[in-house]
Amino acid sequence: MKNKYIKFSSEKSKYLILGLLVLTMASGAVWLKYYSPYGPNPLRSSADEEPLKHWPYSTSPAVITLLDSSSNYWGKHLALAMKNWEKNEYIKINAVEGLPAKECEQMPELIHFCTVNDPNFFIAFGSYVSWTRTGHIIAGSFILNDYYLNNPDSPYGTSIWRNKLLCSNLGWSMGLDFRYYQDENSTTCMEALWVTERVPNPQGPDEVDLAQVKERYSSHADDTSSSSLSSITAAANLHLKQREYGDLVRSFGESQSVYKLDLGNGYEMTTIVQEKPFDLNTK
Ligand SMILES: [Zn+2]
């Protein structure tokens, strides 16, 4: 009787240990996939089913419209970022002059680039709406904060940081992923890392980024006849205004977070928030 009991108990604990092991491995995998900086496929957690994000295009190069509502500090930085991204000739960015807008609204078929001057806002913020079935981006916006980026008292108030952030937010708005790894010799502006001790030398895209542009913008031609998208962008703008970004799908330290919000009818909004790494007064 005693032996029987002991046998049962050890059998039971064997399953318990096995169960715990499986649970630990599973949660570790989830952490690695979504939260760790070393995750294997950032933002492409269900990559195998998810098409690559891109603006629909029917011509070569693909023409992407950018409505420039930035403050007047940004002209030369935008010119450089556009030149860098257009390097391999698969895309052409058509910049259109906008107006300083209070709200950086999303509008169908264009990237809206805005700036704010606000100590309480993120250093950079980007958001786009895409159709999940095709990966087609239908509207997007990104905001850069002059309070940090055009301020001599800020460690980020340099043209190097302005170039880096404009380049990365433009790349992201075109559907590219940030690059989540730590590499001292990195030569890409798409690096997700905030390392303030190190000058962000990469101010433009590297070969890998340009290959990603090629992959997204040279493989097919889309039917770009537009359907009515304004109700979807109106819904997105309302969520943005209320700072509703949806579920956290990726976080990189405390500096960068990615959210997804289901807008219904097969559309989703992807948002990236880039916090400032520390306050200006700790410089
Ligand atoms: Zn397409």
> What integer pLDDT is reported at residue 7 of this predicted model?
45
Contact yes or no for 126/271 (Cβ under 8 A): yes
Residue 19 lies in a domain: no
> What integer pLDDT is reported at residue 225 of this predicted model?
72
Find the 247 Cα to ligand 1 centroid distance in Å.
Answer: 26
Contact yes or no for 150/71 (Cβ under 8 A): yes
Find the 218 Cα to ligand 1 centroid distance in Å.
Answer: 9
Find the 62 Cα to ligand 1 centroid distance in Å.
Answer: 10
Instruction: Please name the residues in contact with 28: beta carbons below 8 A apart, sequence gap of 6 or more.
Output: none
- 175: its two tokens: 């559907």
Find the 222 Cα to ligand 1 centroid distance in Å.
Answer: 5
> What integer pLDDT is reported at residue 37 of this predicted model?
41
Q: Is 185 helix (H, G, I), strand (E, B) or coil?
A: coil
Ranges of the chain with pLDDT below 70: 1-49, 101, 182-183, 193-202, 226, 277-283
Find the 55 Cα to ligand 1 centroid distance in Å.
Answer: 7
Give residue 272's domain range: 43-278
Find the 53 Cα to ligand 1 centroid distance in Å.
Answer: 8
Residue 239 lies in a domain: yes
Find the 246 Cα to ligand 1 centroid distance in Å.
Answer: 25
Find the 70 Cα to ligand 1 centroid distance in Å.
Answer: 28
Find the 143 Cα to ligand 1 centroid distance in Å.
Answer: 25
Find the 262 Cα to ligand 1 centroid distance in Å.
Answer: 20
Find the 136 Cα to ligand 1 centroid distance in Å.
Answer: 6
> What integer pLDDT is reported at residue 180 of this predicted model?
78
Cα(first)–Cα(last) distance of the chain, in Å?
72
Q: Nearest Cα to 148, choosing from 240, 271, 279?
A: 279
Instruction: Please name the residues in contact with 166: beta carbons below 8 A apart, sequence gap of 6 or more.
Output: 74, 77, 78, 80, 81, 144
Whole-number Å distance between alpha carbons of 221 and 236 = 27
Residue 23 lies in a domain: no
Residue 114 lies in a domain: yes
Could you tell me the CATH number of the domain that includes residue 208?
Answer: 3.40.390.10
Find the 171 Cα to ligand 1 centroid distance in Å.
Answer: 17
> What integer pLDDT is reported at residue 275 of this predicted model?
86
Cα 244-247-249 angle, rounded to 5 deg: 130
Residue 214 lies in a domain: yes
Find the 271 Cα to ligand 1 centroid distance in Å.
Answer: 21
- Is 0.75 topped by the overall pTM? yes
Contact yes or no for 146/185 (Cβ under 8 A): no
Find the 219 Cα to ligand 1 centroid distance in Å.
Answer: 8
Residue 29 lies in a domain: no
Cα 271-233-249 angle, rounded to 5 deg: 20
Type of residue numbered 222: D
Q: At what angle do helices 159-173 and 75-85 cross, to 10 degrees?
A: 50
Find the 80 Cα to ligand 1 centroid distance in Å.
Answer: 26
The environment of the single-atom ion ligand 1, i.e. residues with CB closer than 5 A, is 222
Residue 108 lies in a domain: yes
DSSP output for 195-264 = -TTS-----S--HHHHHHHHHHHSS----------HHHHHHHHHHHHTT---EEEEEETTTEEEEEEEEE
Place of tokens 């997700």: 192
Residue 17 lies in a domain: no
Q: How many domains does the chain contain in total?
A: 1
